[in-house]
Amino acid sequence: MVSAAIARNVVGVIGNVISFGLFFSPAPTFYRIIKRKSVEEFKPDPYIATVLNCAFWVFYGLPFVHPHSILVVTINSVGLAFEFVYLTIFYIYATNKGRKKVAIYLVIEAIFFAMIALITLLALHGTRKRSLVVGVLCDIFNVMMYVSPLTIMAKVIKTKSVEFMPFWLSLANFLNGVCWTTYALIHPFDLYVLISNSIGAVSGLVQLILYACYCSCKGDKNNDESVYGTKPETAVQLSTTSNGRVAVQV
């Protein structure tokens, strides 16, 4: 019989693989930025937010905050590295105003993270209290990011077209949420990973249901252009949340 520890590690590794793919998914957007030597209409906000999100999940998974969470640390460390690469590319090709925005927000995030880390380590004793504070913060940031795809789902319903909601991305989001939810349920139980990723799984499921409902509908091209203010070739901007969750922005 397979032990709970082995089962948890296997599920966690699968979650790491899926999450890696999701963290990598914005790469085409930044390849386009490099190729055109311009950030065009893309905004750095999702990637700036994801830096803080991943940083807190890495902190959460450390042994002195929440033991037995090494797989949470590994994937969010990878995600943090990806986000810094994306922001570096953005910074290089952005206008002075865009560069200033990235720099200011990263400094603010660094100060905020340092304050929380110091308070957690110096004022809170024991992993239970530390897990509670950092875990709640992680879930708050995750839930805020999960609100992002709601705008895309609303557009799908309004235009009766799934053009701007890729099937494979929705499927990967759903599988990723299910995988990390399963990971959280296996002993030792992890409430904070469970809360955020169960919401992510539900979000992914809703996207798949919408896709099934509207995938056969082409939608009216003129309606698409009037809603989006652009042609269908408009690029989709992706941002990743913790554990590889992705927020889509058009």
In 3D, which of 200, 80, 214, 56 has the Cα closest to residue 136?
A: 56
Q: 194 is written with which tokens?
A: 């469970």
Q: For the whole prediction, is pTM greater than 0.75?
A: yes
Is the distance from CB of 133 to CB of 120 less than 8 angstroms?
A: yes
Class of residue 97 by CB neighbours under 10 A (exposed 0-12, middle 13-18, buried 19+): exposed
Res 240: pLDDT: 53
Res 166: pLDDT: 79
In 3D, which of 59, 33, 66, 61 has the Cα closest to residue 47?
A: 33
Res 134: pLDDT: 97
Res 237: pLDDT: 53
Res 165: pLDDT: 80
Low-confidence residues in the chain, pLDDT < 70: 1, 146-148, 218-250
199's CB contacts (< 8 A; 6+ apart) are: 142, 143, 146, 177
